[in-house]
């Protein structure tokens, strides 16, 4: 029997329950069926709602007789009548149905956990409250610029499991990881694991901030001394972890020097290794706005170097890197007013970092679904830099109350209306900034959908 056929039968005779029929769940279902499993794919959404994502899966020849759809709600009996459960990132592991699987001794795995058991190649894991997408994209480009086989996966690009079948030992998978994904890991072990920063987020899902931090810390739990933990020395919560992890700590700092890691000296980004120093590139080469993006680049450079990138290859990529879509993305200039899309700013800290990128004259569009955050930390920056705030979505009232007395606010029934309100209030030299500080799910499919609507509206106002 060939190795390929042996692998294909790995899950033969097993039933896998895949919870969540979005991108990660569909990719996991396809992988398991290709390897012989019978898959039960369950989601609270209806088959009609999920039709676009399910169509390619149902068309696969191996799905005949191996795919059972349970849509429009979960069936409790399926959680105890299977051999393993694979969970999509957006599904809370606290749901009561999972207790049935636990009581039956059935393994419950995140999609990234399943993938890590089959990926040939090394994993570089990146998490944190903010900056994950930008740093993941940058590291991928830095690896490719160094001639290495770098691939972005996880919450950016494709699910990690979709790479498993064709992966090779010299591949490097740069995986953006949410706290939700990290809740469901058991053996997942990245060669390099990074926590960029920690600020309150997803408090609608966790009992408290400590619970959220605990989920993030799981990224290090299987590492050994042969692995690396990349940590932000400027964030006291992550800096403290340097003494607690089993991996070798590598720090980055934009405010001071570090003994082992990346920092800025005399306007140059350098990598220091207990006395030895390697010059990388000028800090002014970084084209991304905001001091938080300096942190992202420092972290990204450290990760790329630890993964094997040549130091002299990094500068060229950094000078060309302009960021990712929906993250402080310049959209247009109309009548002297610049429009920026930061739809990815889905929490208060991300919105603060967005505001810090502009010194003054901001017309801020904010609001959406509240994630349990405190909007009061916005007051000082808003008072200093924002001319007017246009609010929308479920959290509009809560944000208005938090900003009471520091800025004039308006409310809009839709994002296009908010853009037009901002345009009418703006003067040449102003910045219209979408930085919602909230999730998008009250009005949009996701933050990408929200960002696209913003950009389409702005571009629709441009002179023909």
Question: What are the start-end ranges of the E strands in 344-454?
Answer: 362-366, 386-391, 408-411, 431-434
Q: Which residues make beta-bridge pairs with 228?
A: 192, 248
Q: In degrees rounded to 5, what are phi and psi of residue 317?
A: -70, -45
Q: Is 126 helix (H, G, I), strand (E, B) or coil?
A: strand
The DSSP line for 244-285 is: T-SSEEEEE-SSS--SEEEEEETTEEEEEETTEEEEEEEGGG
Q: In degrees rounded to 5, what are phi and psi of residue 186?
A: -125, -50
Report which secondary-structure segment, H or E, holds 313: none
**What's the CA gap between 423 and 337, in Å, rounded?**
8
Q: Is the dihedral of CA 263, 264, 269, 275 positive or negative?
A: negative
Q: Which of 74, 130, 132, 341 is catalytic?
A: 132
Report which secondary-structure segment, H or E, holds 304: helix 291-306
Q: Which of 74, 130, 197, 202 is catalytic?
A: 202
Q: Which of 155, 197, 293, 341 is catalytic?
A: 155
Matching residue, tokens 């609507």:
453
Longest dimension (CA), the chain: 74
Paired tokens of 49? 């709602």
Task: State yes or no: is 216 an active-site residue.
Answer: no
Quick check: 355 and 385 in contact, CB under 8 A?
A: yes
**What's the CA gap between 37 and 252, in Å, rounded?**
44
Report which secondary-structure segment, H or E, holds 16: strand 15-19
**What's the CA gap between 192 and 309, in Å, rounded?**
13
- Give the strand order in the sheet containing 171-176: 149-154, 171-176, 122-127, 192-195, 228-232, 248-252, 260-265, 268-273, 276-282
Q: Is 236 helix (H, G, I), strand (E, B) or coil?
A: helix
**What's the CA gap between 273 and 262, in Å, rounded?**
9
Task: State yes or no: is 202 an active-site residue.
Answer: yes
Long-range residue pairs from 49-55, CB within 8 A, at least 24 positions apart, any chain: 50/21, 53/21, 53/22, 53/23, 53/26, 54/21, 54/26
Residues forming the active site: 132, 155, 202
């Amino acid at each position: 029997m060939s190795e390929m056929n042996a692998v294909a039968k790995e899950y033969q005779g097993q039933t896998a329950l895949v919870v969540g029929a979005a991108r990660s769940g569909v990719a996991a279902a396809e992988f398991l069926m290709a390897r012989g499993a019978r898959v039960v794919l369950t989601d609270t959404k209806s088959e009609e709602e999920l039709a676009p994502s399910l169509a390619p899966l149902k068309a696969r020849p191996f799905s005949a007789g191996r795919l059972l759809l349970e849509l429009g709600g979960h069936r409790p009996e399926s959680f105890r009548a299977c051999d393993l459960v694979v969970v999509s990132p957006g599904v809370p592991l606290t749901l009561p149905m999972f207790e049935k699987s636990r009581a039956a001794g059935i393994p419950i795995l995140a999609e990234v956990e399943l993938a890590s058991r089959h990926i040939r190649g090394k994993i570089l894991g990146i998490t944190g409250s903010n900056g994950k997408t930008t740093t993941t994209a940058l590291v991928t480009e830095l690896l490719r610029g160094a001639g290495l086989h770098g691939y972005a996966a996880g919450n950016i690009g494709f699910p990690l499991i979709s790479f498993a079948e064709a992966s090779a030992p010299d591949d490097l998978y740069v995986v953006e990881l949410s706290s939700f994904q990290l809740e469901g890991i058991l053996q997942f072990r990245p060669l390099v694991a990074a926590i960029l920063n920690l600020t309150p987020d997803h408090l609608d899902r966790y009992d408290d901030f400590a619970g959220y931090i605990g989920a993030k810390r799981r990224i290090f739990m299987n590492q050994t001394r042969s692995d690396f933990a990349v940590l932000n020395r400027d964030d006291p919560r992550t800096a403290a972890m340097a003494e607690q992890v089993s991996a070798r700590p590598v720090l980055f700092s934009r405010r001071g020097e570090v003994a082992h890691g990346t920092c800025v000296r005399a306007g140059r980004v350098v990598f220091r290794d207990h006395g030895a120093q390697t010059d990388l590139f000028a800090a002014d080469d970084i084209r991304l706005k905001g001091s938080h993006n300096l942190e992202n680049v420092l972290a990204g450079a450290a990760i790329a170097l630890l993964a094997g990138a040549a130091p002299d290859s990094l500068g060229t990529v950094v000078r060309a890197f302009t960021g990712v879509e929906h993250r402080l993305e310049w959209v247009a200039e109309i009548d002297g007013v610049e429009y920026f899309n930061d739809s990815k700013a889905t929490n208060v800290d991300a919105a603060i970092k967005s505001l810090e990128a502009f010194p003054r004259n901001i017309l801020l569009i904010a609001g959406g679904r509240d994630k349990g955050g405190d909007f009061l930390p916005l007051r000082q920056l808003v008072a200093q830099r924002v001319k007017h705030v246009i609010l929308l979505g479920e959290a509009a009232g809560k944000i208005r109350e938090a900003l009471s007395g520091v800025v004039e606010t308006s409310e809009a029934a839709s994002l296009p209306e908010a853009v037009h309100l901002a345009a009418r209030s703006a003067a040449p030299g102003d910045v219209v900034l979408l930085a919602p500080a909230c999730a998008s799910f009250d009005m949009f499919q996701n933050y990408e959908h929200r960002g696209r609507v913003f950009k389409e509206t702005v571009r629709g106002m441009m002179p023909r």
